């Protein structure tokens, strides 16, 4: 990863991210488990061998990922918040987004 001083003004670097299931507080009908994850490298999603990931949890996460891949202003909430929630109110799945 380059430092800010190594990048031109018209450049930015994309961080590689991992999204991992941190907690499930209800009944997950997609049979997700704590520790299930996927990776984002550049614009490509990948999952560990033979892994599945809930479409609905993924759907709630994807809109945030391009912003999480970039350096933002230190006061931007995207720099401090790293959790996403599955939209299924019965599931209560919480995912954690972090840089690899």
Please report whether residue 2 resides in a domain.
no
Please report whether residue 55 resides in a domain.
yes
Please report whether residue 6 resides in a domain.
no
Q: Which of 25, 32, 82 is nearest to 57 (CA)?
A: 32
Please report whether residue 61 resides in a domain.
yes
- Tally of domains in the chain: 1
Q: Going residue by residue through the chain (100 aa), what tens digit of pLDDT does each one get?
A: 666 667 677 777 889 999 999 999 999 999 999 999 999 999 999 999 889 999 999 999 999 999 999 888 889 888 889 999 999 999 999 999 999 8
Give the residue numbers spanning the domain of 44: 14-99
pTM: 0.85
Three-class secondary structure assignment of the chain: CCCHHHCCCCCCCCCCEEEEEEEECCCCCCCCCCCCEEEEECCEEECCCCCCCCHHHHHHHHHHHHHHCCCCCCCCHHHHCCEEECCCCCCCEEEEEEEC
Please report whether residue 4 resides in a domain.
no
């Amino acid at each position: 990863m380059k430092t800010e001083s190594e990048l031109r003004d018209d450049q930015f670097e994309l961080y590689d991210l991992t999204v991992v299931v941190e907690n499930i507080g209800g009944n997950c009908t997609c049979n997700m488990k704590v520790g299930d994850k996927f990776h984002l490298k550049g614009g490509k999603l990948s999952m560990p061998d033979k892994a599945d990931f809930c479409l609905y949890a993924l759907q709630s996460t994807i809109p945030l990922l391009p912003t999480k891949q970039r350096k933002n202003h230190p006061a931007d909430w995207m720099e401090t918040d790293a959790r996403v929630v599955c939209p299924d109110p019965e599931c209560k799945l919480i995912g954690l987004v972090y840089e690899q």
